[in-house]
Structure 1
Amino acid sequence: MRVAPKPIQTFRDDFTYTNSDDAIKRFPFPFPEDEYMYSVNIEPHALPGPEGTVYEHLFDIDEHYLSEMAERKIVLEENPQRCLAMPHMDLACWDFIDRAMTTMSQDYPEYFSLQKDGDLWTWENRLLGIHDTFTFGDSDTLPQPALEYMGCQVQGDIAILDQRENDLFLDAGIVTCPADWSLAFDAGMSFSEWHGPVPLAHEAGIFERALKYLTAIPVGRPVRRLNWTLTINARMDTSPETYPNWGTDRDSITPENIGAKVYLRVELQVLDRMPRSNGLLFSIRTYLISMNDLVTNPEWAKRMHRIMKTLPPELVEYKGLSRYHPMLIKWLKQFDLEN
């Protein structure tokens, strides 16, 4: 099942974003058990994955492609600092171009094509009407800096991690749909520094083990994990920079609108070693589903209720759910009569 891109919908103001039935079916529901337990949950991202799922390809292109690219353009026009690359990351940015163009042209030949004549490359993106010939490695031959050029053609945020001193550093990225974090603030931080605010995980030593695992990822063996939170309205950009636009949304929830306004927000996070720079490509692909759409799957509805009931108070606070968490539990209970 491949979901073709549909006309542009909005992630702000009038919020016209909707999921088709097929998009709901392929949504990456993140809870394997009825009771919530914090874990890194990293697993191999074997490619190709199951056909039609969000795991099939390295970059998932779905029905929201045009909408997300339009939103990215708006965010970058509002704040160009959402795309940053330190000078020593130039080779890693070109690594990203190679990885993205090569895999997308192979996985979606109806939408993308790439021809290589030595270092002279020709790239076509039929969905966005892009057709460019450039010299690989020469930024002057692209209409935009390398990271911005390709980052504006893939769904999801992109961070590129430099590996040195047995640590990972967030030294480049294009981040326009973050879940309450800021690229400008985190740029240059080490792995432990940018994960500092996450509760519970540090006591369990989870991040120390994760870092050791991630720095050992070889070329050609990407890994993935799912991360989740809840958000109000189908809003992609919930960055600290735009908090005045969305911070009060949590106060708008009522028993009558909770199914339509509360969204489960899931990030498919993939880490992929790049061969030239040895950097780690960290893609953060965001999926949104309203509670009304989620409960059309009875198993998801029951499990969502049980997860919300067992969520530790520290995570309720950290994820910003406090104002409507009890109301959501009560609303979900109608779909879980056994509990």
Structure 2
Amino acid sequence: MNMAFNEETFRGDFTFRNSPESVRRFPYPFEEDEYMYSVNIEQHTPGAPGSVFEHPIDVDEHYVAECKERAIVLSEDHTRCVALPHMMDAQWDTLELVMTSLSESYPSEFQLTIDGDNWHWVNKPLGIEDRFVFGDVSTLPMEPFEYVMRQVQGDWVIMDQRDNDLYADLGMVTGQADWSVAFDAGMSFKEWHAPVPHAPEMGIFDRALKYLLHLQYGSPVRRTNWRMCVNPRLDTSSETYDVWGTDNVSATKENAGDKVFLRVELQALFRLPRSNAIAFSIRTYMVSLADLATYPRWAKRLNRVLRSLHPDLAEYKGLNSFKQPVLDWLEPLDDGAFLEKGTHPE
């Protein structure tokens, strides 16, 4: 059965919308009424059918629109794609990871035929069909990493492992939450994550780095991270703050339900076979407060998380300019009843 894809935009008139099915499968990140930054890593094993965890790389109703948005961003600023020269093996590794995953998970939409080094790739949703020689850049219309990244949802950073550290040496990032891949290119793991408040002194990234350095091929892991945004804009990079920064002061108690979105990143990490690099995928899902409130426990828990959030974390996540209108909108939905630990919408 073929998947239905939305016609929508993430800028201008903001026609992005979630179907009821998309809301239900939203990776709601809070299991408790309070939040503190943590590693929260688990094995990236297949989840329930229909969930965002069912397949290693998720494809949903927003796929075509997100790929079009990526093309727009790259046409405006190609520095969102960074590829240091020594990462060519990692480029081919990433292409293989994406193509094999999509073709195995969604065979009606993506087909991959391999005959030795001769590959035949078909992407039906985007109308792409190419034959190329694996390992030969000249047989593709562009370098392998950019080619395949234009056909997958989410941002990707490929970290080279050397000197007992990880370095962000390859990436395509067009939908990031207020950071810059061009600025972070070549940074070590701790340098890249240094802005997270209180995490360094808690040793969170020391433990995370130690864990990831021992990540095994064939045993990917995942975690979630979250933010909020005003308007369903994917590209909230540091470079475009002048475009989206004013959005944050436009939220009011009256319009917050439709205008403010919970933005959750499903982050997966895969060890790559040839390069020994680690692919870090950052897939962003957005849901409006109004849609989130169709599951009352989600709205109640978000209200409690935001009210108890440490001020430093609220500032780091960029919430301060619209946090109060959000709380004013959520408060009437919280009846004070006890909520058990968990994220299920029922």
Q: Which structure 2 residues correspond to residues 1-339 of structure 1 after superposition, within 5 A?
A: 4-46=3-45, 48-338=46-336
Are 2:254 and 2:329, in contact at CA under 8 Å, matched by a contact in 1?
A: no
| Structure 1 segments (4+ residues) deviating >2 Å | 2-5
- Residues 290, 314 of structure 1: alpha-carbon distance in 2 compared, 3 angstrom cutoff: same
Structure 1 CA distance, aligned partners of 2:2 and 2:114?
Answer: 29
2:39 counterpart letter in structure 1: V
- Residues 176, 3 of structure 1: alpha-carbon distance in 2 compared, 3 angstrom cutoff: farther
- Residues 3, 294 of structure 1: alpha-carbon distance in 2 compared, 3 angstrom cutoff: farther
**Shift in Å at residue 7 of structure 1?**
3.4
Deviations 1:90-117 (A, max 9, x none): 0001001111111111110000001111
2:292 counterpart letter in structure 1: L
2:35 counterpart letter in structure 1: Y
Task: Give the unaligned 5+ runs of structure 1.
Answer: none
SS of the residue 1:28 aligns to = coil
- Residues 169, 3 of structure 1: alpha-carbon distance in 2 compared, 3 angstrom cutoff: farther
2:59 counterpart letter in structure 1: I
SS of the residue 1:171 aligns to = strand
**Shift in Å at residue 3 of structure 1?**
9.4
SS of the residue 1:334 aligns to = helix
**Shift in Å at residue 8 of structure 1?**
2.3
Deviations 1:134-168 (A, max 9, x none): 00011110011111100000110111000001100
SS of the residue 1:62 aligns to = coil
TM-score by length of 1: 0.98
Are 1:6 and 1:64, in contact at CA under 8 Å, matched by a contact in 2?
A: yes
Structure 2 CA distance, aligned partners of 1:49 and 1:337?
Answer: 32
2:48 counterpart letter in structure 1: P
Task: Give the unaligned 5+ runs of structure 2.
Answer: 338-346
Q: State the superposition RMSD in angstroms.
A: 1.1
**Shift in Å at residue 4 of structure 1?**
2.7
Are 2:2 and 2:108, in contact at CA under 8 Å, matched by a contact in 1?
A: no
SS of the residue 1:93 aligns to = helix
- Residues 237, 114 of structure 1: alpha-carbon distance in 2 compared, 3 angstrom cutoff: same
1:167 counterpart letter in structure 2: D
Are 1:41 and 1:226, in contact at CA under 8 Å, matched by a contact in 2?
A: yes
**Shift in Å at residue 202 of structure 1?**
1.2
Deviations 1:55-83 (A, max 9, x none): 11111000000110000000000001111
Are 1:167 and 1:190, in contact at CA under 8 Å, matched by a contact in 2?
A: yes
**Shift in Å at residue 216 of structure 1?**
0.6
* Worse-superposed segment, 182-191 or 28-37: 28-37
Structure 2 CA distance, aligned partners of 1:171 and 1:3?
Answer: 36
SS of the residue 2:333 aligns to = coil
* Worse-superposed segment, 34-43 or 104-113: 34-43
Structure 2 CA distance, aligned partners of 1:146 and 1:303?
Answer: 43
Deviations 1:21-56 (A, max 9, x none): 00000000000111112211111001x322110011
Structure 1 CA distance, aligned partners of 2:258 and 2:249?
Answer: 14
SS of the residue 1:23 aligns to = helix
Are 1:3 and 1:23, in contact at CA under 8 Å, matched by a contact in 2?
A: no
Structure 2 CA distance, aligned partners of 1:230 and 1:169?
Answer: 27
Structure 1 CA distance, aligned partners of 2:334 and 2:200?
Answer: 33
Are 2:229 and 2:260, in contact at CA under 8 Å, matched by a contact in 1?
A: yes
Structure 1 CA distance, aligned partners of 2:321 and 2:133?
Answer: 53
Deviations 1:197-245 (A, max 9, x none): 1101112110100000011100000000000000110000000111111
1:149 counterpart letter in structure 2: Y
1:13 counterpart letter in structure 2: G
